Amino acid sequence: MEILSILFPVFSVVFVGYCYARRFKPNMDSVNGLMLQVFVPALVFDVMSSKDFAILSYQWLMLSGVLVVLGSGIVAFPFGRWFGFPMRAYMPAMMFNNCGNLGLPLAVLAFGDGALEAAVVLFLASNLLHFTLGVFMFGGIVSWKGLLMSPVNIATFLGLVVNFGGLQVPDIVLTPISMMGQIVIPLMLFSLGVRMISVEMQHWRIGLFGAIICPLSGIIPALVAGYLLPLDDYQFNLLLLFSALPPAVLNFLLSERYNQRPELVASMVLMGNALSVFVLTAVLWWRLQG
């Protein structure tokens, strides 16, 4: 029942978004733009600027998140070669997971409100790699100016300035920022459900293999990182949850943008997110029972 109480709210909101999209076919471009440019930066700033947020206590967790992303590529590579998958489409989908749409709400529901800080740290590490290494792997050119001007990165920088500088943001300013940040989790889940309707189920073979290999290739380096680095049990549990997440929807969008077999990436994203309920149930049962 504990695991059901964690997973049901998450996937029920995704399902509502999917059903709504099937009926009304909404255009979510402006909503997704608002989320990336306003709501997610607000959440990041709210977390980073908190006087209770001690980023140095998450240094090993952030490093572990980077190792999971890179390590998952090492684990997934031979499978892709063996089965003859197109590597520019396959590899990013295996390395960059849904740590935003699914990772943030799952972390909070599984481990409490205090887990949001750690989940945001992992999200930021993965997000930075996704828009640099991930874009490069899809065949794109990394825009360093675009990275510097990204609202999420600007919010991260400003939040750290406030945090390290011991500055006090007036409540009259912080309250609306916090309110906008609270929109992120339910809106991300709803948006994920809407996005799923535009992904057609084709190429089931690579989709099924991707759904299996993605969490497997993440969990293995997470176990290695947990053994090598001084993570406490709480952070290690969050890292394992992060490592078991399915491919990010952003992979599908980037594959479309750079024309890297989007139909194959779509199958991996759709089947990976659909089957993730079983993988996440197993991981949560393992860690919560422990």
- Distance between CA atoms of 39 and 128, rounded to whole angstroms? 18
Round to whole Å and give the CA distance between 124 and 101.
Answer: 13
For 8-21, write each residue's pLDDT tens digit.
998 999 899 999 99
Listed residue (147, 156, 92, 150) closest to 121, CA to CA: 156
pTM attached to this predicted model: 0.89
> Interior CA angle at 59 toward 118 and 217, to 5°?
70
Which two three-digit tokens encode residue 124?
């930021």
Closest CA to 98 of 249, 213, 218: 249
Each of the 290 residues of the chain gets a pLDDT tens digit; together they read 678 888 999 899 989 999 999 999 888 788 888 888 999 999 999 999 987 788 889 999 999 999 999 999 999 999 999 999 999 999 999 999 999 888 999 999 999 888 999 999 999 999 899 989 998 998 878 787 888 889 999 999 999 999 988 888 999 999 999 999 999 889 888 988 887 776 666 677 888 899 999 999 999 999 999 999 999 999 999 999 999 999 998 888 788 888 888 888 888 988 898 889 999 999 999 887 75
User: Cα dihedral angle (250, 255, 257, 260), rounded to 10 degrees?
Assistant: 170
Q: What is the pLDDT of residues 149-196, one digit of tens each?
A: 899 999 999 999 999 888 889 999 999 999 999 998 898 889 888 877
Residue 118: CB atoms within 10 A of its CB come to: 23
2-289 CATH: 1.20.1530.20
Separation of alpha carbons 86 and 189, rounded Å: 29
Domain ranges of the chain: 2-289
